[in-house]
Amino acid sequence: MILGAFAGVSLTTGLADDSFLSPAVPEDGRSALVIGGIGMGGLTGLFLPLILLGLVRGTEEKPRLRTAEALRKVLAVLVFDVYLLAVSVVVAQLGWVLPEGLTVLLSVFVIGFSWMPLALIPWERFGLTDVGARLGSRNGSDSNKPD
């Protein structure tokens, strides 16, 4: 996770300094991209090894991930990374009107809590629930039944 955060910071500072985004990111908003890179890289560094571990390890309660499920989860992590990067770029625009210290403070809260609306979406309506819960409901086991 820490290595992923360092890689995310390196990527976002490169985007802010040496890429097509450099004219769009003000000097006082550069730190918002760094904060977004920490979140993006840390998330990827945490979940990617866990997904890969899920491909090779499994128990009777939680079976191994199938390749399609693992790819779907990796894609979901990457989509969320792009979401965090987009939020970081939007928050970096505050650097045009606010001083750097205030931009840093606001970016920590905005980027840190930007995932909250995604947590409120009822993902089970879209069929994006946990694998173990789906397998348990298919087998007829109901956790609400008394023992």
Q: Is residue 69 part of a domain?
A: yes
Q: Is residue 9 part of a domain?
A: yes
Average pLDDT over residues 73-83: 87
Q: Is residue 59 part of a domain?
A: yes
Number of structural domains, the chain?
1
- pLDDT tens by residue, 5-52: 888 888 888 877 777 777 878 888 888 888 888 888 888 888 888 888
pLDDT at 129: 62
pLDDT at 8: 82
Q: What angle do CA 78, 80, 85 make, to 5 degrees?
A: 95
Q: Is residue 143 part of a domain?
A: no
What is the chain's alpha carbon radius of gyration, rounded to the nearest angstrom? 19
- pLDDT tens by residue, 98-115: 888 888 888 888 888 887
Q: Is residue 95 part of a domain?
A: yes
For residues 40 and 44, what is the distance between their CA atoms, to the nearest angstrom?
6
Q: Is residue 13 part of a domain?
A: yes
What is the residue range of 82's domain? 2-138
pLDDT at 133: 43
- pLDDT tens by residue, 22-34: 787 888 888 888 8
Q: Is residue 27 part of a domain?
A: yes
Flag whether pLDDT at 77 surpasses 50.
yes
Q: 0.85 exceeded by the pTM?
A: no
Q: Is residue 72 part of a domain?
A: yes
For residues 111 and 39, what is the distance between their CA atoms, to the nearest angstrom?
8
Flag whether pLDDT at 130 surpasses 70.
no
